[in-house]
Amino acid sequence: MNIVLLGPPGSGKGTQGQLLAQTFGLVQLSTGDLFRQILQDPSHPLYDSLQVIKEGKLVSDEIVNAVVEDALIKLKDAKGVIFDGFPRTVAQAEALDRMLNSMGKKVEVVLDFDVTKDVLLHRLLGRRVCSSCKRVFHIKQGYTECPECQGQLTIREDDNEEVIIKRFGEYNQKSAGVKEYYLNADCAYIRLFVNDPDISAEEVNKWIIQELSKRGLVQ
Ligand code: ADP
Ligand code: ZN
């Protein structure tokens, strides 16, 4: 099963992607994580092109598509892929269909995280990411290290108010087209409306699994 996660920064795509991947034995493919990994290596050929991330701007479709295609080829034997942070433009959605098509696969499910702006800001400004396992926590949980792997908890460079506002702007500008693309596609489109800042990741995960089973997509 191939799943696309749509939603603004802070909507919980990454966390839910990890939980779904664990539950159903799928592989999570996060373009943001792939890019942050590349940014650790100044000698990487894409290092300069990815500097736009620090300003909250989108990376060009050409680069994103090439990175995803490369990753997908390596994942050709996976039971399914969870696309987290991709596609973010209609051109990327079209490219993804072409890539999957050529492998005899398709996008079966789209999860659209519709989260109020207050909740998003609260989460992003308090977000702490484990530098080792990439799990996401919130400062209010009070951890001094990753409770799962004892890795170091870090603040993402683009999680500051100025850059967050730019990322929201990019998302709002581009996402409408991507939503419309999938609403017209032959896949299950599931919309999750989150307006409670205290809802736990486990609750959202349960809710998603309920929605998937209602539609007969999982047992
Ligand atoms: P978030 O959803 O919290 O903004 P991500 O980790 O998904 O975080 O992405 C971080 C940054 O990486 C984005 O702000 C953007 O600059 C870049 N990026 C990630 N995925 C894409 C994509 N599909 N297209 C263009 N840029 C992307
Ligand atoms: Zn960890």
Which ligand 1 atom is nearest residue 30's CA?
Answer: 7
Residue closest via CA to ligand 1's atom 6 equals 32
Instruction: Spell out the domain ranges in the chain.
Output: 3-203
Which ligand 1 atom is nearest residue 35's CA?
Answer: 12
Ligand 1 pocket at CB < 6 A: 9, 31-32, 35, 53, 56-59, 64, 85-88, 92, 158, 167
Catalytic residues: 13, 88, 127, 156, 167
> Cα–Cα distance between 176 and 11 in angstroms, integer?
16
The yes/no answer on whether domain 3-203 falls in CATH 3.40.50.300 is: yes
Residue type, 114: D
Which residues, given as ranges, of the chain have pLDDT below 70?
none
Report which DSSP code applies to 24: H
* pLDDT at residue 195, as a whole number: 86
Residue 85 alpha carbon to ligand 1 centre in Å = 6
* pLDDT at residue 28, as a whole number: 97
Residue closest via CA to ligand 1's atom 12 equals 32
* pLDDT at residue 110, as a whole number: 98
Contact 173, 56 (CB under 8 A): no
The reply to whether omega before 42 is within 30° of 0 (cis) is no
**Dihedral sign of CA atoms 25, 30, 36, 42 in order:** positive
Residue 97 alpha carbon to ligand 1 centre in Å = 19
